[in-house]
Amino acid sequence: MTKPQQFELSVEDEQREIAMQIKADVDRGLNYLEQNQPDRAILAFKLAIEKSEVGSNVRDIVTHNLLTAYRKRIEELLKAEEVASVNRYLPEVSALGLSSKMAQDKIFRGKFADTLKNLGMDFFQARQHEAALFFIRKAIAIEPCPSYYIDLTNALAWIKSPAKLADYTKNYTERDIGQHIFVTCTPKSGSTFLKNVLVAVTDFKDVFSVYAALQNEHELYLPQFVKFGKENKVTQQHARASEANIQMMQAFGVRPIVLVRNIFDSTVSLLDFYTKGFTFSTFFDKDEFLAFDDAQKIDLLIEFAIPWYFQFVASWQRAEKEGRLEMMWLTYEEMIADKVSTVEKVLEFNSLDAPRKLIAEKIAEIEANGEKNRFNKGVAGRGKAVLSEAQKTRIRNLAKHFPSTDFRLLGL
């Protein structure tokens, strides 16, 4: 528990009497806390606050002591499962805040925020998630400590409450947020091509919103979202609908395009991609992988890489069913069959448009550029011809672990 604050007074003679009264009330409150009598401590600190000047440093210090006492009393009641009794304290403790120059003192401000966050966690452990969310958010508003976001994510996950922009930044509001075309995709689904076309057609900034790619899961990276929040941008990355990703998208108004591909074709395209040595991976040793024959390479991919595709689809379908986000589903097969119309649909989903002629011109330019195209073979149906029946059966069997998910978009 954050320790209550002690202080010394330096005042003019005419204020000395009231100052000594405040100090006596505070000392009495501190003694009550040491004796595990938080109710009496609350009364003593409230008397001290009534005598202190609004906006003074002393008032903020006493307010922190009062918050500490409230937290101790509420913690006692929650542990005793006397939840109803907590309600008498909530209006007063919810209203506590800082009003003096002490709010500019990072150490003091951090201690005050820690006490609020810890109070939130007391509620969380008692399964009072609405109250937990309130106090965690209050702590973040005072001091956005990175570790608080773990608790924020957990609280939001429990009650399925949408995240707010103010949870992540106070530098701008929802009105300031720029357009964000976000393509979340399975690997080897033509996503790089689609992203490059969208960037070329819209002239939006190309922003990769991860801390680092390569071996890392493409989780959304908050500093990138905050930094580029006001700009128009296009993002393409392999991100599942994890709680943190959903919440960040909610807060920044992202409506993702979910791009997938036939799972058998994806497997063969991954085989080609890794065989060319384009990337490192955490699920195999590169030199060992390149020494395998194609059958063993495919077996490794089916066991370690392909399950992610099933998790990806299941996570986004679940998020959509729960109404967490509005999204647009798109397949590789649909895209290569009519690229111009696909780009038009993506733009329309994002309340944008562009002349078909311009879209066709940009597609032609990008298709002529191997770095921006990144299509491997650019055809559908290779997987069923290359994979053995046993390998295809092993892939199909992965779907049984997600009985409520529809995998038809993966060709199953």
How many CA atoms lie within 13 Å of 118's alpha carbon, on the beta-carbon side?
17
Closest C-alpha to 180, from 244, 141, 237? 237
Give the burial class of 64: count Cβ atoms within 10 A of its Cβ; 0-12 exposed, 13-18 middle, 19 or more buried. Answer: buried
**What pLDDT, on the 0 to 100 scale, is given for residue 375?**
62
Q: What is the pLDDT along the chain (412 residues), one digit of tens a residue?
A: 566 665 554 545 557 788 899 999 999 999 999 999 999 999 999 999 999 999 999 999 999 999 999 999 999 999 999 999 999 999 999 999 999 999 999 999 999 999 999 999 999 999 999 999 999 999 999 999 999 999 999 999 999 899 999 999 999 999 999 999 999 999 999 999 999 999 999 999 999 999 887 667 899 999 999 999 999 999 999 999 999 999 999 999 999 999 999 999 999 999 998 888 666 666 778 888 888 999 999 999 999 999 999 999 999 999 999 999 999 999 999 999 999 999 999 999 999 999 999 999 999 999 988 766 666 556 678 888 999 999 999 999 999 999 999 999 999 9
Q: What angle do CA 330, 334, 336 make, to 5 degrees?
A: 120
Task: Sheet containing 180-185: give its strands across.
Answer: 205-206, 233-237, 180-185, 257-260, 328-331
Place of tokens 């009534």: 50
DSSP, collapsed to helix, strand or coil, labels residue 54 as coil
Please tell me the pTM assigned to this model: 0.88
**What pLDDT, on the 0 to 100 scale, is given for residue 400?**
96
Residue 31 to residue 117: CA distance in whole angstroms? 24
Residues 6+ apart with CB under 8 A from 246: 319, 324, 325
Place of tokens 């690997």: 187
330: β partners? 259
Residue 369 to residue 364: CA distance in whole angstroms? 9
Amino acid at 247: Q
Structure tokens belonging to residue 16:
């000395």
How many CA atoms lie within 13 Å of 9's alpha carbon, on the beta-carbon side?
21
Residue 292 to residue 38: CA distance in whole angstroms? 68
- Asked if 13-160 and 174-410 have one fold, the answer is no
Task: Kindly list the distances between the CA atom of residue 191 and the CA atoms of 234, 261, 382, in Å, as whole numbers in the listed order.
Answer: 12, 10, 18
Spans of all domains in the chain: 13-160, 174-410
Q: What are the backbone dihedrals phi and psi of residue 182, each rounded to the nearest 5 degrees, phi first?
A: -120, 115
Alpha helical stretches, state H, 167-284: 191-202, 222-227, 243-251, 263-275
Residues 6+ apart with CB under 8 A from 52: 22, 58, 59, 62
DSSP, collapsed to helix, strand or coil, labels residue 179 as coil
Residue 263 to residue 265: CA distance in whole angstroms? 5
DSSP, collapsed to helix, strand or coil, labels residue 115 as helix
**What pLDDT, on the 0 to 100 scale, is given for residue 384?**
87
Element (H, E) at 234: strand 233-237
Residues 6+ apart with CB under 8 A from 364: none
**What pLDDT, on the 0 to 100 scale, is given for residue 1?**
53
Q: What is the architecture of the domain spanning 174-410?
A: 3-Layer(aba) Sandwich (3.40)
**What pLDDT, on the 0 to 100 scale, is given for residue 3?**
61
Report long-range pairs for 373-376 (Cβ below 8 Å, ≥24 apart): 373/192, 373/193, 373/196, 374/190, 374/192, 374/193, 375/190, 375/193, 376/188, 376/269, 376/272, 376/273
**What pLDDT, on the 0 to 100 scale, is given for residue 411?**
95
Task: Kindly list the distances between the CA atom of residue 253 and the CA atoms of 2, 157, 194, 203, in Å, as whole numbers in the listed order.
Answer: 36, 18, 21, 20
How many CA atoms lie within 13 Å of 317's alpha carbon, on the beta-carbon side?
16
CATH class of 13-160: mainly alpha
